[in-house]
């Protein structure tokens, strides 16, 4: 009897013939480039013919696979090596952005070529954005004229929505910023962008990608100030962009001021310290007194949880606001500031229904505490009030306004004791 175990079958390494359709196609951008360049050479500089050629070629050539090569050719005339240079031994074409005339009209015509191509082949959108991001990183490798053309084209494509403003992230590259390339490029880009749209449309696009507060990063850290940005771009003919950035900086400063102010209030910091801090911030960030009094009012009203009962909230409000009257008085030294505060009080009382009956009591409190004075109150009553709840609030203020008009200066202090009964 044979006790040996039968041998297990083993793989013999037999080779199977692969079907042709399963073989992975070799990546060959050179052959693709030759096909595109040959077609562009035949169309010449007629960009309508170029657009038609590209539209038709998409059915025969693999645009999806060779998107980078395609866009390299359309922008630079051939495949780009790392750094943005064209290889000497590569075939190239003059039917491209870099070989075109350096003017806005020509770049608008090229923008149409890209628009038509990407509308026809939607899958190229992502590849085109990646291409532009790459080109921006290669800016140092291009001539000044090539950079100008690319900047104009990019601005137009941002304006018509072909490109997303997130591509501007590439401009914050440390080397580009350090050598001033980013700022110079941004001048041409924003000029063409604003020329196609306006500063408001530009602002919306920047805000969507959280780029609205980053424009100063186009400069090195030691030059990242509103003053430097404003001077540079105003001298370059972009005053509206300078004003936009200044406004954005002011908005950021106001948000920071409100946040710090609320923290100081919650800690119970002395008013003299709070007033000193606020005045320093006003001076540093060029914030007006009218803006500050609005911030203080908002902060004061948000530091307490209000009673939901209308008959109790007025008493609670008077007690709370009396405490903060010295702080508000420090920033109502101008008639316009007082009027601004009055409008904010009216708006708050209207928006918070439990405060509707408290409006007159708050105004009288602030008059007694010298936060508000006679003239702004009378102006508010006559023609400077808001439409919100005006009939209710004007009726509430009627007796007090009559008293202000009729009381003689020398007797006003005596009558003031009776004001709270009005």
Instruction: Report yes or no on 120 lying in a domain.
Output: yes
pLDDT of residue 95: 94
Share of the chain above pLDDT 90, in %: 75
pLDDT of residue 378: 94
Instruction: Report yes or no on 19 lying in a domain.
Output: no
Could you report the per-residue pLDDT of 310-350, keeping only the tens digit for each?
A: 778 889 999 999 999 999 999 999 999 999 999 999 999 99
Give the whole-angstrom CA distance, residue 69 versus residue 36.
9
Contact present, 197 and 156 (Cβ < 8 Å): no
Instruction: Report yes or no on 212 lying in a domain.
Output: no
pLDDT of residue 191: 97
Domain boundary among 156, 190, 205: 205
Instruction: Report yes or no on 190 lying in a domain.
Output: yes
> What is the residue-averaged pLDDT of the chain?
89
Could you report the per-residue pLDDT of 92-114, keeping only the tens digit for each?
A: 899 999 999 999 999 999 999 99
Least confident span in 65-74, 90-99, 368-377: 90-99
Nearest Cα to Cα of residue 171 among 151, 191, 157: 151
For residue 93, what are the domain limits? 29-205
| CATH number of the domain bearing residue 399 | 1.25.40.180
- The CA-atom distances, in angstroms, between 205 and each of 250, 406, 410 are 19, 56, 60
Could you report the per-residue pLDDT of 265-306, keeping only the tens digit for each?
A: 999 999 999 999 999 999 888 889 999 999 999 999 998 888
pLDDT of residue 250: 82
pLDDT of residue 15: 52
pLDDT of residue 16: 46
Instruction: Report yes or no on 392 lying in a domain.
Output: yes
Helix, strand, or coil here: 202?
A: helix
pLDDT of residue 414: 52
Do 196 and 309 sit in the same domain of this protein?
no
Give the whole-angstrom CA distance, residue 96 versus residue 90.
15
Label residue 409 by pLDDT band (50, 70, 90): low
pLDDT of residue 393: 94
Label residue 244 by pLDDT band (50, 70, 90): very high
Instruction: Report yes or no on 45 lying in a domain.
Output: yes
Q: How confident is the model over 397-402, as a mean pLDDT?
A: 93
pLDDT of residue 308: 81
Nearest Cα to Cα of residue 261 among 295, 305, 235, 229: 295
pLDDT of residue 417: 55
Do 199 and 322 sit in the same domain of this protein?
no
Give the whole-angstrom CA distance, residue 404 versus residue 406.
6
Higher-pLDDT residue of 150, 3? 150
- The CA-atom distances, in angstroms, between 177 and each of 228, 247, 357 are 14, 23, 58
Tokens of 204: 């919306």
Domain boundary among 182, 205, 228: 205
CB atoms within 10 A of CB 270: 9
The alpha helices in 138-180, defined as continuous H runs, are 144-159, 174-178
Instruction: Report yes or no on 241 lying in a domain.
Output: no
Do 190 and 312 sit in the same domain of this protein?
no
Instruction: Report yes or no on 24 lying in a domain.
Output: no
Number of compact structural domains in the chain: 2
Could you report the per-residue pLDDT of 6-60, keeping only the tens digit for each?
A: 565 554 555 545 454 444 456 688 899 999 999 999 998 899 999 999 999 999 9
pLDDT of residue 22: 41
């Amino acid at each position: 009897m044979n006790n040996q175990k039968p041998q297990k079958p083993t793989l013999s390494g037999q080779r199977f013939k692969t079907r042709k359709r399963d073989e992975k196609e070799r990546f060959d951008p050179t052959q693709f480039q030759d096909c595109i360049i040959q077609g562009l050479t035949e169309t010449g500089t007629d960009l309508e013919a170029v657009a038609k050629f590209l539209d038709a070629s998409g059915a025969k050539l693999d645009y999806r696979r060779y998107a980078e090569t395609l866009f390299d050719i359309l922008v630079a005339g051939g495949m780009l090596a790392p750094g943005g240079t064209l290889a000497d031994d590569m075939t190239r074409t003059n039917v491209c952005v870099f070989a075109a005339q350096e003017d806005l009209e020509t770049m608008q015509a090229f923008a149409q070529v890209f628009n038509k191509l990407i509308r026809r082949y939607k899958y190229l959108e992502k590849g085109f954005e990646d291409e532009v991001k790459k080109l921006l990183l290669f800016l140092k490798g291009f001539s000044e004229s090539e950079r100008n053309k690319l900047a104009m084209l990019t601005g137009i494509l941002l304006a018509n929505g072909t490109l997303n403003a997130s591509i501007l992230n590439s401009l914050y590259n440390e080397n580009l910023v350090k050598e001033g390339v980013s700022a110079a490029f941004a001048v041409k880009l924003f000029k063409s962008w604003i020329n196609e749209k306006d500063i408001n449309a530009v602002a919306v696009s920047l805000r969507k990608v959280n780029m609205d507060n980053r424009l100063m990063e186009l400069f090195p850290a030691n030059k990242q100030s509103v003053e430097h940005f404003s001077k540079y771009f105003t001298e370059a003919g972009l005053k509206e962009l300078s004003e936009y950035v200044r406004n954005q900086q002011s908005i950021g400063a106001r948000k920071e001021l409100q946040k710090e102010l609320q923290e100081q209030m919650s800690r119970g910091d002395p008013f003299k310290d709070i007033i000193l801090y606020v005045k320093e911030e006003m001076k540093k960030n060029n914030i007006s007194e009218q803006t500050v009094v609005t911030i203080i009012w908002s902060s004061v009203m948000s530091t307490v949880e209000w009673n939901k009962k209308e008959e109790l909230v007025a008493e609670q409000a008077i007690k709370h606001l009396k405490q903060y009257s010295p702080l508000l008085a420090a920033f109502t030294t101008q008639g316009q500031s007082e009027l601004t505060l009055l409008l904010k009080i009216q708006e708050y009382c209207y928006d918070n229904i439990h405060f509707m009956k408290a409006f007159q009591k708050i105004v009288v409190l602030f008059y007694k505490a010298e936060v508000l004075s006679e003239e702004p109150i009378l102006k508010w009553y006559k023609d400077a009030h808001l439409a919100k709840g005006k009939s209710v609030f004007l009726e509430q203020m009627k007796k007090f306004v009559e008293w202000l008009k009729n009381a003689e200066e020398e007797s006003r202090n005596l009558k003031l004791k009776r004001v709270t009964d009005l």
